[in-house]
Chains A and B, each alone.
Chain A
């Protein structure tokens, strides 16, 4: 008799089993679906996008080879800008009638030189290959396309069209993904000052040496500003798996078909 009373009291205190089961089922399914959606997102971002980028890279690599073989390379006269540095070391005040270097041993840095230039590639076209021997992923090179639109960067690294092409005077800017779409610039944070970056173009191979790494805001457009000499600037997201900041690598030309013309 006492047992019967206790059991009926317990039944009255606990909610109906149907409601509890329903709540547990809803919570359980919500957790499972959320987990699958998140897992799908991670798989899509890390593996699917990389698979697509690698397929594109195979095609772009052939396109770049064709570009190297068919692009017209011409010679243009180039006169380096006169800066305070060149005035201070006397190079810019060599009289026009002098014979230059033979006279006093000072190289003639004021006269026009011959610069090799290629015709500008169309947006989306593969036109260069960037290679970084100290980064395993980039030892064989990653094809660079013209443009930094979303669809350009899904295919390869992208060259900012408002900046000069690699190997020319100024500041050539190349952007690339850090964690998705093949993540060409995944390990650029491991670069050190003095490391070499090679860029193949229709003109030839341009060798750059890393001078500086900086972490900046995404709005810091000054990193694309023109620079004296010939520079290559690589930009990518920072930290990994976030687009909160940008990691920027500044590298200066140290060898290549146009080195003598720009720096002699």
Chain B
């Protein structure tokens, strides 16, 4: 993880901004994945048909 951060391009400020953006995108993607799994397996909303 540390190496991944060091390998990011640009000065330190740019590295931090890039890291935050990547983390946010990953979190949003994870949220949608969780939502899909939940709606498919855990609770579809109780509809029939």
User: Would you call A80 an interface residue if the criterion is a C-beta within 8 Å of the partner chain's C-beta atoms?
Assistant: no
**In contact, A180 and B34 (Cβ under 8 angstroms):** no
Number of interface residues of B (CB under 8 A): 17
Give the distance to chain B from A161, nearest Cβ to Cβ, in Å. 12
Give the distance to chain A from B38, nearest Cβ to Cβ, in Å. 5
Residue numbers in B under 8 Å from A216 (CB-CB): 48
**In contact, B43 and A179 (Cβ under 8 angstroms):** yes
**Which parts of B1-49 form the interface with A (CB within 8 Å)?**
30-31, 34-35, 37-49
**In contact, B34 and A241 (Cβ under 8 angstroms):** no
Complexed CA–CA distance, A178 and B47 (Å):
11
**In contact, A150 and B39 (Cβ under 8 angstroms):** yes
**In contact, A243 and B48 (Cβ under 8 angstroms):** no
Tier of interface size on chain A: 35 or more
For B36, the closest partner residue in chain A by CB is A150
**In contact, B42 and A148 (Cβ under 8 angstroms):** no
Residue numbers in A under 8 Å from B44 (CB-CB): 218, 237, 243
Residues of A within 8 A of B (CB): 37, 40-41, 44-45, 48-49, 148, 150, 153, 158, 160, 175-181, 183, 185, 216, 218-221, 223-224, 235-237, 241-243, 246-248
What are 19 sample pairs from A and B whose C-beta atoms fall under 8 A apart? A45-B43, A148-B45, A153-B45, A153-B46, A158-B47, A175-B48, A179-B43, A180-B43, A218-B47, A218-B48, A218-B49, A220-B48, A221-B49, A224-B48, A235-B46, A236-B45, A237-B43, A242-B41, A243-B41
